[in-house]
Structure 1
């Protein structure tokens, strides 16, 4: 199989491209845009050398089969917090009651895989007990921002009739609003219990953990009649690893090291629109 090496960053020097062409044995350099270059006929056996060079040069890269096209895919599954959006919603909710440091510490440990996700979520939500439900809308209005390139990525996926599933260990309050705002096809997340207008400190129903994310991916994939190879999954934390393992292509977006080492591709320096060149040539 022939491969192209996709190189992406805000700025890529000509010298870096020439060096990468040498390292990867590519025979031609094509400019896709000022931030994206395609090195034709690259040897994937050079992955380690290319990865080392790109790490130092702050470049994102990926070896992409030359025959791959966006039409090969039918579903993109994505995490929400710190992937589709730039914040961790629960940390920002916690800031409303002055417990953000405590909650953020648990969040980080869970993302690194040091604490079971369900346990971590239960502990974090308990710290929110008594908060007025209006705080959720404040977080959405005042703090929630899409990750750079999100809308461009979603627009291209729609253009190629690729369905989207937003599956989150976060909360339905945010996934449902993002679904309406962005035209996402499917969403799944946790529901915060609210009693008399205040958060009770509990989650309703079964927690959407790593296994639940995987189950949602496989359920939607089966409904759409797709093979695993037709699915792309992206995330940033240990809670995303199981679902990413079920996809033909997995993308670690500004992710923890444990996720980067197990993903098909890692994007550390670019926005979500950097997903597009990894799907092949339109």
Structure 2
């Protein structure tokens, strides 16, 4: 699989290298505050307040990657069983279920991951940071007509999954408290957008460090299943007893609003 990027002037570098360059540039002492609203790089004259992840204002270098392997990739199989989608190095690819060449559905400098195909196969929900924070975006199955669904500015959205009717998307919302790793909540959004509704908020409020994550609808749409930390208290603990269980699967009944532990036991379940 050829993983190079191309624009009007030729190939673009892999975003991994660009991300490092961007971080160095944004933390450079050459960035001088001109007023409360604008920061301009002395070397480039670029207005940082107008930063666009997909249009970095730097000289580009060609980097080509050819591979037939990928690790730490999210995968989803089309409802018709003919193809699958996966993410690799921040782009989403489509490949035939029998193998062969993968085709990129996204080719830009945003970090695009965790594709989820709609039940009718016409849309793909995925996570992208193209607006500055990890949010849910939706595109057509061929990679066209991207539109933003969630518009979080402070919290991290991930793990989108469609409802069986294709109208809703359930996600994990990672929220920072006093720990460097965000604690999760389960939220549901209409595929057209909006503020969303919480399905399962943090048990111990804003100080909670325990995680609730990875929601998915049942095939009939009556339930939402998710993983929940079962260790008592608000603090995350590394040294936990697996014999008592660490995580369990909870089932949320959409008609009654009740949530009950569904699968648990020694070691736990996710």
TM-score by length of 1: 0.24
Please state which structure has a larger fraction of its residues in helix.
1
TM-score by length of 2: 0.25
Which of structures 1 and 2 has the larger relative contact order (alpha carbons within 8 angstroms, sep 6+)?
Answer: 1
Bigger radius of gyration: 2
